[in-house]
Amino acid sequence: MDPVTSKLTSRDLCRVAIRAVRMSWAADPQGVLTVAGLQLTTAVGLAGALLLLRDMIDDVMPLAGRGGAGADLTTLVSGLVALIVLGTAGGILLTLSGMRQQILTDRVDRHVISLVLRTAAHTELGEFEDPDFHDRLQRAVHAARHKPAMVIMMLVTMMQAALTVLAVAGVFITIAWWLLPLATLTALPLFKAAKDERDARYAMHYSLAENHRRRQYFEQLLTGRDEAKEIRALNLGATLHARWDSEYARELTSMISLIRTHAGREIVARLVSSALIVGGIATVWALVDTGRVSLAGASTGLVGLWLLSTRMTMASRMLNDMGQSLYFLKDLHDFAAAATVPPPRPAEPALPFRTLRARDLTFTYPGVDQPTLHGIDISLHQDEIIALVGTNGSGKTTLAKILAGLYAPTGGRLDRDGRPANDMHQLRHGCAVVFQDFIRYKLTAHDNIAFGRVEDQIHDSRIRCAAESAGVAALVEGLPDGYDTVLGREFTNGTDLSGGQWQKLAIARAFYRNAPFIILDEPTAALDPQAEADLFARIRQLFAGRTVLLISHRFSSVRSADRIYVLDAGRIIEQGTHAELMRTQGRYADLFLTQAAGYLDGNHLVDEVSGDLG
Ligand SMILES: Nc1ncnc2c1ncn2[C@@H]1O[C@H](COP(=O)(O)OP(=O)(O)OP(=O)(O)O)[C@@H](O)[C@H]1O
């Protein structure tokens, strides 16, 4: 079903409604039963009240002409008392049902948001490259944020409408069955208006999805703490606000036009409904006049007609919201169904390897025409430090992501100890990556390190050891609450770190992960020269017995690597040790000399290079 052009059929609606019931049941079965029970009791009470009213009118009407003389007051008073009792009980049931509904709503809320978050958290990285995925995700998040209450309202309204209509219609059959088709007819125009509104609103929601995402992005830029400094330094506030405003204006224009159209439709529907009711009253009047229907029967019939038609009108208004929540439920389901969530796997040990080899490996990002990597052949051995260098955009991070099991190669193969390494979960499990743009978790320092390996039991001694190795232990111990200090000024007693201190913490996380394969993508970009030199002096000893892939633009860091691969436009163009590559006088030597020239004067540079060549 194409979501933009087509509408939900009655079958789809039923299917989604069943899903809504299942979802509510999964979230709070007791709540569903209680609310259903209370609604049923209320509907039965309403039918009882209507029957009582008819009996009372039957008793009183014949005496009306005699000024009530001869009326049995006991019957009248007991009838009235019964009506008051039923009314009060109905009110209490309504309050109880409302209370239980709220609890049920909160539980469904949690259930739905959890479904979206769980699905998003397990979705493969490649999906995040697809704008359609983001559209689906956004609609699911929107549905999760705003619609659980609607789901409950929808269920309760459906129940309420069905039960009251059944109860009133049941009574109707015994007193004025002939008014039933008329009552149904009066509600039809409003049902139709509600359906048109529902379809139009959903189509608008689809067409504005990307626009909405952009607006949210501007909101993030204008309100985020991390963004605040640059926005102020560049004086971007007014410009970004204007962009946000124009995105919002577009959404608002569509929304206002939709609201106006709907109001027009509803006014017409109401006029038609009222005309039908007037017609019904005139018919009843004529029937009473000709003696075919008693006055008592006609009066109760008209009360019933009024009750039935107001319930149906209410139901049609609710149908509008209901229809929308059904559409949004469909969004939730589509998102969960389309996302490729791998089944949960038990924690397994990260197995060491002797060789990881890429053979003729190719990779193209989803939705992109040209491959980013072509025919890559590299070998990484245990106990080796391998460096990857190249200009910006040459594909270093992309290759690292494939070796880390974050993307599957689109061509060629990856072998571990001579066997195909197709299991991305296993690759990820055996790898620790420090990305250039690692996450600064605004949680405790302890969490920031322990997140390196959450599958295992957390050992405080190992956390301290990882902090020590990354050169950040003294800093953390000096924080107000040591390892329990929250690293985010947005939170009470939170503190912040410098860029380099955050980077050391990210490196500590990699140490804590204790994986056989370590990828360090520009790990020292924010470190001071002393911290960088310290880390590289100890890196071999710290990661002894493992394999380290080091990506860096700092040639001083890579020159001691066992082997250096040079990437250019997605291809390996050179490989060897620093000395070998300098002797070749190719791309690596060019880049090295360009960087070195920035640090050393001519004489020193000649000495350096002759040392390398010698
Ligand atoms: N998610 C993505 N979708 C599509 N193309 C991408 C994506 N990420 C990177 N690219 C493209 O792939 C190419 C290689 O990017 P990559 O990040 O691997 O380069 P890099 O060598 O690590 O660069 P740098 O030195 O600047 O970090 C670039 O042309 C980039 O535009």
Q: State the DSSP H helix or E strand holding residue 388, giving kind and residue range, or none if neither.
A: strand 385-390
More confident site: 463 or 455: 463
Choose the weakest-confidence range: 352-356, 522-526, 565-569: 522-526
Q: Is 235 in the pocket of ligand 1 (CB under 6 A)?
A: no
* Position 593 in a domain: no
* Position 535 in a domain: yes
What torsion do the CA atoms of 327, 333, 338, 339 make, to the nearest 10 degrees?
A: 130
* Confidence (pLDDT) at 477: 95
Q: What is the mean pLDDT of residues 333-359?
A: 78
> In this predicted model, what pLDDT tens digit does every residue of 242-275 receive, in sequence order?
999 999 999 899 889 988 888 888 888 888 888 8
Task: Report the C-alpha gap between 23 and 108 in whole angstroms.
Answer: 7
Q: What is the mean pLDDT of residues 384-405?
A: 94
Q: Could you tell me if 384 and 361 lie in one domain?
A: yes
> In this predicted model, what pLDDT tens digit does every residue of 29-51 receive, in sequence order?
998 888 888 878 887 877 777 77
Sheet holding 517-521, edge to edge: 431-434, 517-521, 547-551, 385-390, 563-568, 571-576
Q: Could you tell me if 77 and 125 lie in one domain?
A: yes
pLDDT surpassing 80 at residue 57: no
Q: Could you tell me if 523 and 476 lie in one domain?
A: no
Q: Which of 374, 397, 407, 565 to mutate to test the pocket of ligand 1 (most atoms within 8 A of CB)?
A: 397
Residue 582 — pLDDT band, cuts 50, 70, 90?
very high
* Contact between residue 24 and residue 112 where contact means Cβ atoms under 8 Å apart: no
Q: Could you tell me if 508 and 533 lie in one domain?
A: no
* pTM more than 0.80: no
pLDDT surpassing 60 at residue 222: yes
**Coil/strand/helix, residue 415:** strand
Q: Is 18 in the pocket of ligand 1 (CB under 6 A)?
A: no
Q: What atom in ligand 1 is closest to the CA of residue 399?
A: 18
Q: What is the mean pLDDT of residues 436-448?
A: 92
* Position 608 in a domain: no
Residue 356 — pLDDT band, cuts 50, 70, 90?
very high
* Position 102 in a domain: yes
Residue 1 — pLDDT band, cuts 50, 70, 90?
very low
Q: Based on the structure, what is the number of domains in the chain?
A: 3
Q: Could you tell me if 386 and 262 lie in one domain?
A: no
Write the CATH number for 357.
3.40.50.300
* Contact between residue 27 and residue 107 where contact means Cβ atoms under 8 Å apart: yes
Q: Could you tell me if 401 and 451 lie in one domain?
A: no
Mean of all residue pLDDT scores within the chain: 81
pLDDT surpassing 70 at residue 64: no
* Confidence (pLDDT) at 62: 60
Mean pLDDT: which of 149-163, 182-196, 417-431 is highest? 417-431
Residue 146 — pLDDT band, cuts 50, 70, 90?
low
The upper half-sphere exposure of residue 465, i.e. CA atoms within 13 Å in the direction of its Cβ, equals: 10
* Confidence (pLDDT) at 3: 42
* Position 589 in a domain: no
* Confidence (pLDDT) at 61: 58
> In this predicted model, what pLDDT tens digit does every residue of 511-563 receive, in sequence order?
999 899 999 998 877 777 787 777 777 888 888 889 999 998 888 888 889 99
Write the CATH number for 236.
1.20.1560.10
* Position 168 in a domain: yes
Q: Could you tell me if 296 and 375 lie in one domain?
A: no
Q: Could you tell me if 534 and 467 lie in one domain?
A: no
Q: Could you tell me if 209 and 78 lie in one domain?
A: yes
Q: Could you tell me if 317 and 200 lie in one domain?
A: yes
**Structure tokens given for 79:** 């009838």
Q: Could you tell me if 275 and 332 lie in one domain?
A: yes
Task: Report the C-alpha gap between 335 and 116 in whole angstroms.
Answer: 8
* Position 56 in a domain: yes
Q: Which residues pair with 389 in a beta bridge?
A: 566
**Structure tokens given for 310:** 């107001």
Q: Which of 129, 361, 396 to mutate to test the pocket of ligand 1 (most atoms within 8 A of CB)?
A: 396
Neighbour tally for 247: CB within 10 Å: 21
**Coil/strand/helix, residue 432:** strand
371 CA to centre of ligand 1 in angstroms: 11
Choose the weakest-confidence range: 123-127, 247-251, 314-318, 392-396: 314-318
* Confidence (pLDDT) at 175: 62
* Confidence (pLDDT) at 612: 52
Q: Could you tell me if 225 and 179 lie in one domain?
A: yes
* Contact between residue 156 and residue 35 where contact means Cβ atoms under 8 Å apart: yes
Q: Is 514 left (phi over 0), alpha (psi -120 to 50) or beta?
A: left
State percent of the chain over pLDDT 70. Answer: 83
488: domain range?
441-514
* Position 201 in a domain: yes
